[in-house]
Structure 1
Amino acid sequence: MFSFLNIFRITALLEGVSYILLLFIATPIKYILHDPQYVKLLGMPHGILFIGYVIMAFMLKKELNWNTKQFSEILLASIIPFGTFYIDKKYLKPLRNG
């Protein structure tokens, strides 16, 4: 059964993957090969996942008792490459097992 935490974990994973693809594949193709189609293709899904990640983080803040430092780290992770994977390992995965 899917809990809200699991949905957040899936969103974090997809947001992280879309960001990596956008940053390290689509953007270099756009500027080196002058082909913006991949940025256009990945930009909207990544934006939706990013917004979903931030909104769900706000919704889970109180339920999971994240303090200001933890919450700031969770939000900051959404703009750092590979950040959401770190957050999943540090904060989210232990909650599933615990």
Structure 2
Amino acid sequence: MDETNESGSATSTSRARRPRRRRVSVTGVIGELLLTAGVLTLLYVGWQLWIGDFIIGSQFKAEAKSLSEEWAAQPSTTPTPSETSNGTPADEPVAPVPAQPPILAEPG
């Protein structure tokens, strides 16, 4: 039997008690998996919003720069005015025809 000293505690001859291990439950494992999946999802969304925007933005910037250089290399041509179907030149302003509102028959 274990010997006890005056204070009631076990002496060095008794075996030290091991701390109890927590019991693993199914809900605990599922909860941990859901938390991990949530953190990974937030990391993915952060990647798409900030890092992905930076990558796509730099690609669009390079594409816009090459397009601007292409347009700058093309000679500038001024189109000549042509006649419209009513015989007036296309560069002269044409007065718009006001639209008439539809008139409905009176009920009755």
Specify which structure has the bigger relative contact order, considering alpha-carbon pairs within 8 angstroms and separated by 6 or more residues.
1
Asked if these proteins are the same fold (TM beyond 0.5), I'd say no
Q: Give the helix-richer structure, 1 or 2.
A: 1
Give TM class, smaller chain: under 0.3
TM-score by length of 1: 0.28
Name the larger-Rg structure.
2
TM-score by length of 2: 0.25
